[in-house]
Amino acid sequence: MTSSQPGLKIRCQQLNPVVGDIKGNTLAILDALDRASKDAIQLLVLPELVLCGYPPMDLLERDAFINDINNGIENIVKASQNTAIIFGTPLRNPIQSGRPLVNAALLVQNGNIVASRFKTLLPTYDVFDELRYFEPARDNTPVLWNGYNLGITICEDIWNVENERVYHTYDRDPSKDLKDLGAEIIINISASPFTHTKAESRRKMLRRHASELNLPFVYSNQCGANTDLIFDGDSMFVNPGGDIVSVAPMFDEGSIDATFNAGRFMANEALSKGLPTKDERSYRAIIRGIRDYFAKLKLDRKAVVGLSGGIDSAVVAALATEALGSEHVIGITMPSMFSSAGSVTDSEELARNLGIKIHQVPIKGIYTAFEHELSALFEDDQFGLAHENLQSRIRGSIIMAYSNKHGHLMLNTGNKSELAVGYCTLYGDMNGALAPISDLYKTEVYSLAHWLNEKYFMKEVIPQNTMLKEPSAELAPGQFDADSLPPYPILDSILYHYLEEAQTANDIIKSGFESLTVQKVLRLITQSEFKRKQSPPGLRLSPKAFGFGRRIPIVQGWKEF
């Protein structure tokens, strides 16, 4: 059928919507439509739920929110002219049964809703809660538009097999069903969040579909970050057989155009060369996460970071500076009687290298005042956990006082390894509005630090001394992480197998780790669940981050040993 058609000009436009900002998102959609129209685009494809941003969560339960959504749809429909647009939005479920909403794709042109299609496969695992809100489509049929049979799918609909971790087995393949019903092109609108391995699994998935079904695929994905979830864009056109024709930028707004003719895409843009390395992707994801957290709060806020002289706070300060600009980041170094000299000098060197302001607030006087008042409560004056945590809480209170006084947002500097085993102080170093590296293991933080110095800055920005010193919380004399925890390469491997791969303790031991070490690590993970319950939101970089996507009871009696 297409052979008799002139070429169809299609654009994938990755937008970065703000969750809930229906007015702002509508303006962005209308602006994209306007530009597409000027560029003689015939079909503009926008991401899933772009009108409300993803994930809207329980805002979807508010009637007034759905009314505002409907107004937004009306405005887009009214403004539409000859350029057709496909975009995602929640809709009230037209059937009076099941859940009250559907996750819809609307095809709009010349003041009309030409067609609507609903999502069939609703992810309900990890960070996804879609069956909490949406009724799945019972069927999906091709849309005959402008002489083309369009198969319109939404995100998970094409992830029927390749999910990075298998939580279920889908017995439907919406793309294949659409092909069987005559679709000649599959259009997928997505809000698919970043993980370290998502770009590869996404390519594998699209290539398999395009090859198995011998159909062309249009893939348009959300970009930008909403609180903890980072969307990496990476929209693309894929030809039958699996050739990727053109790819949009990762993480940033942008668009790609192609001409569809005789069942294939032709694009002017060259295919972007290869994928960035893992470290570069972590870097770009975190930058996007920090930047959007601040920008989307729509408050002109700066960031404040406690600098310990260690690797974690150095990396967070460097990333915050890249994300927000050096004039928007403040460091505070808070030496105690147990701090190494480097705690201050390395922090000062880092601040100089980054061009950020640094304040010094010693905590000894405050600590002494606490000790004095607490002595009556303590019975003995043996130094211990209470004294260690107290130092951390004094520091947390100092940063929060600065935050409250100046309106700055505190960035948390904790990594995934310490959050996993609870090697961190609740209401102390666990404070913060956002935790940029809470989904990077300690070994990954080191790797990123090396990449920053060597590949990104191409000079020593994170001080050599910070890179080389043995990790220490410096809360007690001569204290090192290695006294309490297995060496980080071992700890991180065990954590990865347990958390990301959901291996059993036995499997982990069989793969070569000491039984006692595995037992200790698993016990620490279980014991620190209550801390993570109260941790700040952390940027999700892996398929299994702490936070919303990992839901473990606090009071519970299961041990694998």
Active site amino acids: 48, 119, 155
Contact call for residues 256 and 267 (beta carbons, < 8 A): yes
Structure tokens at 366: 């405050």
Contact between 359 and its own copies (CB under 8 A)? yes
Reading across the β-sheet that carries 185-190, which strands appear in turn? 143-145, 148-154, 185-190, 217-221, 236-238, 244-247
SS3 assignment, position 220: strand
Judged by CB under 8 A, the chain residues 373 through 402 that form the site for its own copies are 373-374, 376-378, 384-386, 389-390, 393-394, 396-398, 400-402
Among the listed residues 144, 262, 271, 297, the single contact to its own copies using CB under 8 A: 297
Nearer to its own copies, 183 or 499 (CB): 499
Judged by CB under 8 A, the chain residues 132 through 161 that form the site for its own copies are 132, 135
Q: How crowded is residue 155: how many other Cβ atoms within 10 Å of its Cβ?
A: 27
Long-range contacts of 246-250 (CB under 8 A, 24+ apart): 246/270, 246/271, 247/271, 247/272, 248/12, 248/14, 249/14, 249/223, 250/199, 250/223, 250/276, 250/281, 250/284
Among the listed residues 3, 4, 63, 458, the single contact to its own copies using CB under 8 A: 63
Residue count at the site for its own copies (CB under 8 A)?
98
Q: Are strands 244-247 and 254-261 parallel, antiparallel or unpaired?
A: unpaired
Q: Cα 23 vs. chain centroid, distance in angstroms?
A: 24
Contact between 241 and its own copies (CB under 8 A)? no
Contact between 5 and its own copies (CB under 8 A)? no
Q: Which stretch binds its own copies (CB under 8 A): 312-320, 347-355, 452-460, 502-510?
A: 502-510
Q: Which stretch binds its own copies (CB under 8 A): 28-36, 41-49, 143-151, 163-171?
A: 163-171
Contact between 366 and its own copies (CB under 8 A)? yes
Contact between 27 and its own copies (CB under 8 A)? no
Contact between 337 and its own copies (CB under 8 A)? no
Among the listed residues 78, 204, 298, 352, the single contact to its own copies using CB under 8 A: 298
Contact between 484 and its own copies (CB under 8 A)? no
Nearer to its own copies, 155 or 398 (CB): 398
Contact between 506 and its own copies (CB under 8 A)? yes
Judged by CB under 8 A, the chain residues 441 through 470 that form the site for its own copies are none
SS3 assignment, position 38: helix
User: What is the rounded CA–CA span in Å between residue 339 and residue 521?
Assistant: 27
Judged by CB under 8 A, the chain residues 402 through 421 that form the site for its own copies are 402, 404-405
Contact between 31 and its own copies (CB under 8 A)? no
SS3 assignment, position 124: coil
Residue at 463: amino acid letter: P
Q: Which stretch binds its own copies (CB under 8 A): 94-102, 245-253, 308-316, 463-471?
A: 94-102
